[in-house]
Structure 1
Amino acid sequence: MKRREFLKTAGFAVAGAAVGGLLDLDKAFAQAPVIGSTKIVKTAPGEGSHAKVYFTKKIDAQHLIKLYEMINESIYGKVAIKLHTGEKHGPNILPRDMVKALQQRIPNSTIVETNTLYQGDRYTTEGHLEALKVNGWTFCPVDIMDAEGTVNLPVRGGKHFKEVSMGKNIVNYDSMLVLTHFKGHAMGGFGGSMKNIAIGCADGRIGKAQVHGVEPDKLPDDWNAWPSKERLMENMAESAKATIDFFGKHIVFINVLRRMSVDCDCAGTSAAEPTIPDIGILASTDILAIDQASVDLVYAQTSNHDLVERMESRHGLHQLTAMRELKMGNDKYELIEVD
């Protein structure tokens, strides 16, 4: 069945990149996340499966490319690079030269984005195009996927959504690289690979309102009135699952753990200065494993108070639980360090 036909039915069985998680995250997170599943050398009989997450402490173009080439076996055809390009002059967005070096190694690739729900630099397509220029995203095509409309992608097994509205142009791509600046987030607690596609592929008017649990034309002025905590994390997971199911095995993930402010890149110049040291780059074909590993690495740092407080106060760790319950990946992983 071709991917276009997938849009006609929510019952299509997609071969995912991983199986369901094996840890009891609810119990683990009742106190604090644990890092007991990293650096598994070999799975013993009865221990179940685990995902592979590649990791390097070196944050540069050479190692970004090296990690991508370890996970890109299923990437083919027209490739979407889902990137958060940020508000104008954002101090923490990924370095353009590093992204450029990777993009130029991926044939037929395009950076993809969608417009925002809030009225900022990227609220309209025209404003978004200007922000892209200001921030230096001019070295390759950038597709604002909802500039000319939307498409509904089905959510298989969702308890809140049967479908989510996405930027129409998402269906024009054969594969996707989710290239994420891992950081905090005002409502989500943290923004990893899941948040990048959950909100970042949803179109700016309908889809993002769905994910945030608000009416498109009746946005509450007070952010405290917006649905949050567990419900927001579950909405995000279901939106992300729609994108993952669409691409099947042809989607891979990279998280860059540098300049990790408690604020998202959507905060622009008002983002808080990072207080946690840079950690490195992670890459995986498993979305739950890479976000779980990223969270574990943050918790392993001694100077992590601000970011951990942001995650826990927003109930952001429920992102991981929600992905596990939707069988989006494996929370048991092998962390493979790469020089």
Structure 2
Amino acid sequence: MTASITLGGGPVRPVLCRNRGVPMQRRIFAKAGIAAAAVAVATAALAGPQAFAGEGPGAAVVAFAGHAKGPAPTEQSVGAQRGPFATDKLVVPAQAGRGFNKGTIYYPDDTSQGTFGAVAVIPGFLEGESAISWLGPTLASHGFVVLTLAPNATTDYPEPRSDQLLAAVDWLANQSPVKDRVDPARLAVAGHSMGGGGTLIAASKNPALKAAVPLAPWNLYSDFSDVTVPTLIVGAGRDFIAPAVMHATPMYNSLKAKQDQGYLKLKNADHFTTNRYDATVTAYTVSWLKRYVDEDTRYSQFLCPVKSGFQLTCPV
């Protein structure tokens, strides 16, 4: 599959949050984000920069920041359906009062490399968990704890889906059976269609999130200029359900003046292309999550250098 990729950047500008009925939630999350950031900075200062020497004697030492895990990435590895980590899974049954319905946790079975970043993923209108289930084992095998969700109702609009995503990542990091594997300061959200619209709303509500990946997003409004979370929007050129010109493109246009915002527009792709494994979608999603959730600068090379048709202030 071919793709035209537009990645946008620029200076971060303070933007007032639009009132979408949750100003208090956003303030609470913002305060939590400041606290999480302080913990992350203190931890990094104690740990210092990490260095990987590759394999074999005499291999070059490469220093980088962040929470890097796994072998040095390659063009082939970032788009692979299965990454370097073996994975396990747990079924999460429905439970009242938790804020989300049910789902499946996929996680690396390696306990020797510390905690991992976590991602919650929700499907779109009239879709079940199976619509986005491929992302579970794929992202987990690249070094993330992933919770794929069944929505509370398949007819839920983006707003309630955003609340389900936020409840899910919070539960995953603090109450789930795999909470000891999750770094609660490194959380991300993703979703398809109305779940993609919910992903952007979740990023608006909780600026402490490390990344957001809306896939073929649909929403009744497209102005997300208040979002500061690093966001990779994936649109489809032949999407007739959430046409990019009405959804993904204006959503990205509302973000692109800020740093660390990206737009991957897939040519010859429809609304449901991201509901199954795709090497291009995987390569950019994995690289984005690695760069911003793990702060692993080894993955910057797969977002940069700027190529024809790109617009990006490259992350370092």
Which TM-score band (shorter chain)?
Answer: 0.3 to 0.5
Higher relative contact order (CA 8 A, sep 6+): 1
User: When the two structures are superposed, what TM-score results if normalisation uses the length of structure 2?
Assistant: 0.35
